[in-house]
Amino acid sequence: MESDTTVRRLKPYGTRSFATPDDDDSSRHRCGDNGYSGDPKRKPEVSLYLLREGVATSLVCVFVFALWGLVHLSLRQLVIGKPSGDFNAVRARVHLEQITSVGPRPVGSHENEVLTVGYLLEQIEKIRVETAAGPNQLTTDVQRPTGTFSIDFLGGFTSFYDRVTNIAVRLEPKGGAKHLMLANCHFDTVANSPGASDDAVSCAVMLEVLHSLANQSTPIHHGVVFLFNGAEENILQASHGFITQHPWAKQVRAFINLEAAGVGGKEVVFQTGPENPWLVEAYVQAAKHPFASVVGQEVFQSGIIPSDTDFRIYRDFGNIPGIDLAFIENGFIYHTKYDTADRILTDSIQRAVSDGSALC
C-alpha cells in the first residue's frame, strides 16, 4: 500500500543539491550553489584554512629550492676552487694519481729516488716560475742526509741511514722570515703498496697548498717549509735527517705532520704537543671541521701498536710542538696493495686542506 507520507531522499555531504518539488524552502536555504552543505558560517573558515595551507606550501617549496641552490653552490666552491689562489682539490687529485701511477716506492728504488723526486721537483719549479713576480719567494733544496739515531720504538734500536732524500721547499715574503712553520709528508711507501693514503695524498695536498699560498696577492705572515721526505717507512729516517742537519730546521717553531692510519675518509688529530696548548687552539680556529681524539695518542704512547710517525722525531729530536693528522677510514686497507688513488674521494682531499693545512 502506498503511503501518503513524503519520503525525503538523503543526499551525501558535499554533493550538489537541486531543488525538487519535494524540497521545501528551508532546504533551499541550507544548500548553496557551491556544493557546501552545512553551517554557512563555516565557509569563510574553510577558505581561510586552504589559503593558509597554500601559502605555507609555497614558502616550503621556495625554501627547498633556495637550499638546493646553496648546497650546489657550496659544492662547486668546495671542489673546484678559483685560479686566484684558492685550493683546488681536483688539481690535487691529479698529483695523487701521478705519484701513485709508478706503483710502490720503497726507499732506494728507482720509483722513489728518481721518478717521484723528478715529478715533485718539476711541479715545484712550475709553481716557482708562475709566482716569481708575486710578493713571496720560493726556494727549493734537495737534501740527502746521512746519520744515525737511537729510539725506544719496538723495544729500542739504533737506525743508520745513508743519503736518504728530502725535498725542502721554503716559502716566505721576499723580505725574508725569522720564524718558520713546517708541513711534513713522505712520498716513500712500504714495498707492497702504491701508498695512495700513506702518504701520497698528503704530498698532493701539500703541493696544492704550496701553489695556493704562493699565488696570494699579499705577502704571507710567516715562512713555511714544505718538507717532502723520502724515507719515513724506513723508521722515520728522512725527518731525522732534516730536523737535526738542515739549516732551516733551527727556525722552525711548530709543525704539522700529515699521515694515514687508514684510506680516505676524514682526518683526525691523534697526536699533539708537547704542551703548547696554543697550537691546538690555532687548529680549532683555523679548521672548518675540527676533529680530534686523545685515544690515538694514548695508544701510541703506550707502545701497544708497533708503529709511529715523523711526529715522534720532530717532538723528541727537534723539541718543537706539532700536530699529527691522519686519515682513519678503512684501516684494513692500510699498507696493502689496495691503498689506491680511486679509494680516496676528492671531498676527502678538500677536507684535508680545510681542517689541517689551514694552519699554514
Round to whole Å and give the CA distance between 122 and 114: 12
Residue 8's contacts (CB-CB under 8 Å, 6 or more residues apart) are 22
> Are 181 and 124 within 8 A, CB to CB?
no
Taking the chain, what is the end-to-end CA distance rounded to the nearest angstrom? 104
Q: Other CB atoms closer than 10 Å to residue 52's CB: what's the count?
A: 10
Q: Please report where in the chains the cell 729516517 appears, as a residue.
A: 237
- Among residues 208, 232, 259, 329, the one annotated as catalytic is 232
In whole angstroms, what separates CA 200 from the centre of its chain?
15
Q: Is 232 tagged catalytic? A: yes
Round to whole Å and give the CA distance between 107 and 164: 8
Q: Other CB atoms closer than 10 Å to residue 223's CB: what's the count?
A: 23
* Per-position b or e across 294-306, b if 16+ CB within 10 A of its CB: eebbeebeeeeee
The candidate with the shortest Cα–Cα distance to 145, out of 249, 229, 230, 241, is 241
Phi, psi of 56 (to 5 degrees): -60, -45
Residue 249's contacts (CB-CB under 8 Å, 6 or more residues apart) are 242, 243, 318
Task: Return the DSSP state at 334.
Answer: T
| Beta bridge partner(s), residue 143 | 166
DSSP string, 156-168: -EEEEE-S--EEE
Round to whole Å and give the CA distance between 35 and 17: 7
Round to whole Å and give the CA distance between 100 and 196: 6
Please give the positions annotated as active site.
232
